[in-house]
Structure 1
Amino acid sequence: MTKIERTIGHQHRASLPRHARVRVGKREVTDPSEAWAVIDEARIAHVGFVADERPIVIPMLHARIGRKLYIHGAKATRIVKGIEERAPVCLTVTLLDGIVVARSAFHHSMNYRSVVVHAQARHVVNAAEKEAALVALTNRLLPGRWDEVRPMTAKEFGATGVLALDVEQITMKRRDGPPVDDEEDYRLPIWAGVVSLAETVTGVSSDERLAGDIPASPSVAALAPSGR
Structure 2
Amino acid sequence: MAPTARTTAQRYPERVSHDREAAYAILDEALAVHVGFGTDDGPMVIPTLHTREGDRILLHGSVHGRFVSSAAAGIPICVTATLIDGLILGRAASHHSAAYRSVMVFGRATGIEDVEERADALARIVECVVPGRMSGPHAARRPSIEEARYTAVLTLPIEEFSVKTRSGFARDEPKDDAVEAWAGFIPFGSTTGAPVPDAITGTRFPAPDAALLDRTRRQR
**Structure-1-length-normalised TM-score:** 0.83
2:5 maps to: 18
User: What is the alpha-carbon distance in structure 2 between the residues aligned to residue 132 and residue 153 of structure 1?
Assistant: 9
Count of matched residue positions in the alignment of Structure 1 and Structure 2: 210
Change (3 A) 1:132 1:162: same
Gaps of 5+ in 1: 1-11
Structure 1 121/222 Cα, relative in aligned 2: closer, same or farther at 3 Å? closer
1:215 to 2:205 alignment? yes
Structure 2: tracts of 5 or more residues without a match: 215-220
Give the percent of matched residue pairs that are identical in Structure 1 and Structure 2: 33
CA distance in 2, matches of 1:86, 1:146: 31
How far apart in 2 are the matches of 1:175 and 1:196? 13
Identify the structure with the greater helix proportion: 1
Alignment of 1:90-169 (within 5 A): 90-127=78-115, 129-147=117-135, 148-169=139-160
CA contact (8 A) 1:142 1:220 kept: no
Query: d(CA) in 1 for partners of 2:52 and 2:58?
Result: 6
Deviations 1:152-194 (A, max 9, x none): 2221121211111123311001111111200232233221111
Q: Tell me which amino acid in the other structure corresponds to 2:193.
A: T
CA drift at 1:201: 1.4
Alpha-carbon offset, residue 139 of structure 1:
1.2
CA contact (8 A) 1:80 1:161 kept: yes
2:67 aligned residue (58, 70, 79): 79
RMSD: 2.1
Q: Secondary structure at the match of 2:109?
A: strand
Conserved in 1, the CA contact under 8 Å of 2:194 and 2:210?
no
The amino acid of 1:78's aligned partner reads R
